[in-house]
Structures are given as structure tokens and as C-alpha cells.
Amino acid sequence: MPGKIRVLIVDDSASVRQAMTEILESDPAIEVMGTASDPYVAARRIQQEVPDVITLDVEMPRMDGITFLRKLMAQRPVPVIICSSLAEAGTETAAQAWEAGAVEVILKPRLGTVQFLQESRIRICDVVKAAAHARLRQFTGRPVPREPEKKLTADAMMPPPLVGHNAMARTTEPVICIGASTGGTESLRQVLQVLPAAAPAIVIVQHMPEKFTEAFARRLNGLCEMEVKEAEDGDTAMRGRVLIAPGNHHMLLQRSGARYYVAIKEGPLVSRHRPSVDVLFRSAASHAGPNAVGIIMTGMGDDGARGLLEMRKAGAHTIAQDEASSVVFGMPKEAIALGAADRVLPLDMLAAEILRVGNR
């Protein structure tokens, strides 16, 4: 059927190949063009027909997935999604995959509750669609049908902000709220790595599975002057610290006097994600108002667009990453279309803007 995103599944497990095929083909926008049991079989398949997206396991016979990814990106770049269970052990697999050129890293689907399987299906299909749009190579421009599932808004986690509430009175310390998805892991590294140790407090929602966020935060902590950690319930958002929302949990900004801290909560998918950028941004609009800065970065979909508008209406300074520097210009585009962004800036100007508005 013309217009579908063609996916090649590479995994040595026949049951995983079958499960992935069923998950992907449940979406009318996606077609599984083939499967391969190892990288050598995959290479022969790619010679016959180049897929739009590849899902790739890490542990396989004859050649591991990371090695194959490096060879593929050097010879014939194709958007690749690493689909691995290794992250459950808290390994550095995700960091290695992103450095080798993967567009995204996701957990393998596994048996569980009906809710888990449904949320896993939504996540996998959305990531494949985002990968097909990635700037890794020229996208064909074929239309992708809208997802049929109903999307919950931030109302599922908290009420809309009350503009003018005294909890938003100005304090001396600002808080920077950032939301990102596909392409965000390396983009965030580029921003955070150049910030000084005394930069303003930063709280981040990066769409990422559970346990990946811990390894991601640990990696950034070793590269950055600021302290970077996976957020825990009650952590203080303070100058010199970056808090990253833990995978599979929402993160809300809260305030006690002049102190900002985060609350880590369970809850439904919001804007098809958990953690959700909309949830973080709404909480910032409610509890920080003009003390906050909202930044929406690369990613597919519209998570964060409405929340950024709420932040702007509450007096926050709001920024969207520009199209040229975004891996996927979905989330920023939606925010700009709503009139949520005060400024639209390239990736290499975000750090300077954080310091400018955070130190005034």
C-alpha cells in the first residue's frame, strides 16, 4: 500500500520478530517489509530493498547490533531504532547506540498486563514514525495517518494553571524547564555540556523508557560541569543541578516558599507519553509562572505544545528549537503554530539563551 513506512526487523528471536511484526502492522501507517535473524541476513535484505526504518537488536549471533549499526551508518545511513532488553540491567547500551547513530532506543515488547502491551504498542509505533521523519536522510514526504487512539491531556494529572495566583510571585532564582523527544538525547548533551557549573536550575522531560534515564543522566553527569541526575521525588531544583524525569513516571515542578522541587508521580499516558512534557510545563505554569523558562526541543508529535502556551500565558519566557537544527521538527512546530514560543532559536544558541534569561 503506497504511503506506508517500510520497516525491517532485525532480531535473532523468532518470537520477538513475530511480536514486533504484529505490533507494527497494527498501525495502518506501517508495513513490515521483512525480518532478519542477524546482521548478515539484514545486509543482504537491504541490498535488495532499502527500508525506511530498521529496528535492531543488540545481542545477536555472528555480529552484535552496535557493530552493525556503526557499519551501516558509515556505508548506507538508514534510520535505526535499537530495540533491546539490555537497558533493564542499567547498562550503557543506550549511550553506545546513540553515539553510533541510532535515532532512538526502546525496550523490547514483553508479556505483561493488557495496559502494558497497549502502551508498548503505542510507544513502538510512534517511535518508528518519528524515525521515518528524522533528518538522518531525506524523507520521502509520504503522508502518515493520524493515530486513532484518544490522547489524554495534562488534565489527567492536574488542573489548568490559575493565572495570577500568588504562588507565581517572582523569586530571585529562575528554573529552566525543557522538553524533548526523538533526537533529544544528543541535542540535550550539546546544550548542557557547555553550561557552567553555576547555571540556573534545569528540569527535563526526555521521552525515554524506564531505566534508560538513569544511564542517560549518569552519562551526562560525567560530561557536564553541572550536576546531572535522574530525578527522585522531593529533589530540589537548584542552581548547578539538572534533574531528568525518570522513565515511565511523570515529573511535576512544585514550590515551597522560594524553594522549587519536583514530584515524581505515576499516572496515565499524557499526550501519549509518560513522562509527558505537557505535565511538566503545566506544573511550571502553575507553580513558577514568570520565574520559569520553557524550552521545547526536537521530537515528533505535539507533547509540550499546549503546556508551553500555558507557561507563556503565565508569564514565563518560552523558546522553541528551530526546524533546521531539529532532528524531527514536530513538537517545536506544534508549539510555534499555537503561538506558544516567544523565540525560535537554533540548537547552538539555546545554552546562551538559558544563561541570558536565567541570570538577568
Tell me which residues are annotated as active site: 181, 207, 303
Amino acid (1-letter code) at residue 283: S
* Closest of 272, 275, 358, 273 to residue 263, by C-alpha: 275
CA 213 – CA 211 distance, rounded (Å)? 5
Say if residues 194 and 220 touch (Cβ distance below 8 Å): no
Cis peptide before 275 (omega within 30 of 0): yes
Coil, helix or strand for 204? strand
For residue 19, give the C-alpha cell: 511480536
In sequence order, what DSSP letters do the residues of 307-347 get, joined into one string?
HHHHHHHTT-EEEEE-TTT-SSBSHHHHHHHTT--SEEE-G
Neighbours of 92 (CB within 10 A): 14
Amino acid (1-letter code) at residue 272: R
Radius of gyration of the chain (CA): 20
Say if residues 69 and 91 touch (Cβ distance below 8 Å): no
* Closest of 107, 110, 288, 311 to residue 210, by C-alpha: 107
For residue 258, give the C-alpha cell: 522560594
- 322 burial class (0-12, 13-18, 19+ CB within 10 angstroms)? buried
- Specify the residue for cell string 553515539: 99
Alpha helix stretches (DSSP H) within 176-300: 184-192, 212-223, 277-287
Contacts for 154 with CB less than 8 Å, ≥ 6 apart:
160, 270, 271, 276, 278, 279, 281, 282, 306, 307
For residue 24, give the C-alpha cell: 507494527
CA 303 – CA 180 distance, rounded (Å)? 9
